[in-house]
Structure 1
Amino acid sequence: MQTFHTYDVFTDRRFGGNPLAVVSAADGLDEATMQQIAREFNYSETVFLQAATEAGCAWCLRIFTPSLEMRFAGHPTIGAALHLAWQGLLGTLEDGATRTLQTMAGPVPVQFSVQNGQVQSARLTAPEVPTVLPVSLTPAQLAELLALDEGDFPPGVAPVMVSCGMPYLLVALSSREALSRLRLQADAWHRYYDPAWRKLFAFAPDGVLGYVPQQDGVYAARMMWMERDVPMEDPATGGAASSLAGWLASQQEVADGEWRWTLHQGEDMGRFSVLHLTGRKQQGRVLPPMVGGGAVPIMQGQLR
């Protein structure tokens, strides 16, 4: 009999962030059963904890949406890491301690923030260096796809596909107001959809000017896709945030450095989320980005 816990991830308040179910002692579950359980929870992701099979990893994470298994996702990794820490399953953790978790995309190091002996938050390092590929969508096509005006897209900032383990289409907007007006259009989605990226991550400055601040920039974002012609939205997306941090780092002109940004997501759907991003470059190479945040316990029980 498996126990489960649910959390709201990338938030410090109940009913904010992105809901997550964590199922313990899942080694005896086959893929079909895990998929059925994920469909039963019907959260954006459910994570199953298994014994690690890779050297140096503390636990293995199997991450499922209601319809498929994912190689990597940010909010299940952060939520599972905090669950393991709070359950005492990662040993004694000092501030800054790191544990590595196994995913299908590869090992994911997670660093913990600890204050007065209590784990407060976690920060993951994406399993892959960001891959950035151009996308052949014009401002007119994007405007049709998102029910916006061509003037809502900043000149010189083209859409790109970026992956740090999962690919996303990143689309920059000129203002926070345009981000709120965004409405994904089913007809245009069918015309322009590319299975290489599958989901769209739109972002805009939120309290800052420009798109590549050196540090302490604040952005707002919305992650959307179409499912059976119905627009869907995610309140907090760590994988997409990793891609954004990797792209922002790639735009920096200097060869070495570390930059931090705050990302607000979910506000337009009533589930305010805060993600902390870190981008890094070393000798001109973009390193795997980092994404961090907290979580709030919501429910626990048993699967019968």
Structure 2
Amino acid sequence: MPQLPFHQVDVFSAVPYKGNPLAVVADADGLSDAQMQAIANWTNLSETTFLSRPADPAADYRVRIFTPESELPFAGHPTLGSCHVWLALGHRPKGAEVIQECGVGLVRVRRDGTRLAFAAPPLRRSGEVAPDLVAQIARSIGLGADAVKAAQWTDNGPGWVAAMLGSRTELLAVRFDPSLLPDTKLGLVAPWDKARDGDEAQFEVRAFVGRRGIEDPVTGSLNAGLAQWLIGAGLAPPSYVAAQGAALGRAGRVHVAKAGDDIWVGGDVVVGIAGTITV
């Protein structure tokens, strides 16, 4: 049975075990969809990725992203983790940036010192959230509708809708009831208060996914959509740090920066496991 390179990395943290884990299988050209889905189901991580040769000549590699149940067209921490592994295996990009091919098309990744950052892909859905859905979001997090200061669709593939609360303290106290919002991927964001929360980050983020209401530790795709909304609406400066994962005992840090027309979403990646997988 063939053995393929296998890594498990921690994304959006320079400290091991404090970010969001990702499994990466390289040289996956010969794997079938069923094999990839089975492996993703077995790792039981939020995402497992599979690296192969690109179909688009402009790309450096192709990545397919699987949850334990299905394939995603794009996700942020799998983008950075996959790129880190691709580079660690000795590959080099054709140009100054790494070009990743995935379900949403080509995604640019750049090296920013010790970090990697991806250019936020275009939103598939944006704009205001209907008042009845805002009220439903508020009920799902156990708050009154007036607690939601703003809401916006921020969908760049996974289907995110986002809501802003008034404070980090309020956000960290949220208890999400997925039965009240069963078919929506919900992102929550709130500003840090410098006097109370410090200045290590400017926003706190939480993400809830699926009918079981699973909380994602650190979420690149959500943070990309949030950045496009918050910076575009003047609710955030052109450069900021978002913290995510505190409610789960993690310490994720997402570094956001607007440069020209691009918004770059970056973070650190550390390797936890390196070896092979038998398929």
1:262 to 241, 244, 251: 241
CA contact (8 A) 2:72 2:157 kept: no
Report 1:196-207 matches (<5 A). 198-207=184-193
2:122 to 128, 133, 136: 128
CA contact (8 A) 2:75 2:221 kept: yes
| Distance of 1:110 and 1:167 partners within structure 2 | 22
| Distance of 1:165 and 1:290 partners within structure 2 | 17
CA offsets, 1:119-138, max 9 Å, x none? Answer: x2111012325641322245
2:257 to 257, 278, 295: 278
Aligned-residue Cα RMSD (Å) equals: 2.3
Give the equivalent residue in structure 2 for 1:107. Answer: 106
Q: How many residues align?
A: 270
CA contact (8 A) 2:60 2:94 kept: no
Instruction: Specify the SS of the correspondent of 1:2.
Output: strand
Instruction: Specify the SS of the correspondent of 2:139.
Output: helix
Instruction: Specify the SS of the correspondent of 2:7.
Output: strand
Segments of structure 1 that go 5 or more residues without pairing to the other structure are 115-119, 210-215, 282-286
Instruction: Specify the SS of the correspondent of 1:3.
Output: strand
Instruction: Specify the SS of the correspondent of 2:69.
Output: coil
Segments of structure 2 that go 5 or more residues without pairing to the other structure are none
Deviation (angstroms), 1:200 = 0.3
Deviation (angstroms), 1:56 = 1.4
CA offsets, 1:203-252, max 9 Å, x none? Answer: 0001359xxxxxx971000000243xx32100111000010011013213
Q: Tell me: CA distance 1:70–1:24, structure 2 relative to 1, closer, same or farther (3 Å).
A: same
Give the equivalent residue in structure 2 for 1:153. Answer: 148
CA contact (8 A) 2:28 2:51 kept: yes
Deviation (angstroms), 1:279 = 3.7
2:228 to 225, 230, 246: 246
CA offsets, 1:18-51, max 9 Å, x none? Answer: 0000101100001110000000101100110000
Give the equivalent residue in structure 2 for 1:284. Answer: none
Report 1:1-304 matches (<5 A). 1-90=3-92, 97-114=96-113, 120-129=114-123, 131-138=125-132, 140-154=135-149, 157=150, 159-190=151-182, 193=183, 198-207=184-193, 218-227=202-211, 230-252=212-234, 259-279=238-258, 287-304=261-278
Instruction: Specify the SS of the correspondent of 2:202.
Output: strand
| Distance of 2:139 and 2:49 partners within structure 1 | 36
Matched AA of 1:289: I
Deviation (angstroms), 1:92 = 9.7
Matched AA of 1:206: W
Instruction: Specify the SS of the correspondent of 1:303.
Output: strand
| Distance of 1:226 and 1:124 partners within structure 2 | 25
Matched AA of 1:232: I
CA contact (8 A) 1:105 1:165 kept: yes
Matched AA of 1:100: I
| Distance of 1:32 and 1:162 partners within structure 2 | 30
CA contact (8 A) 1:145 1:189 kept: yes
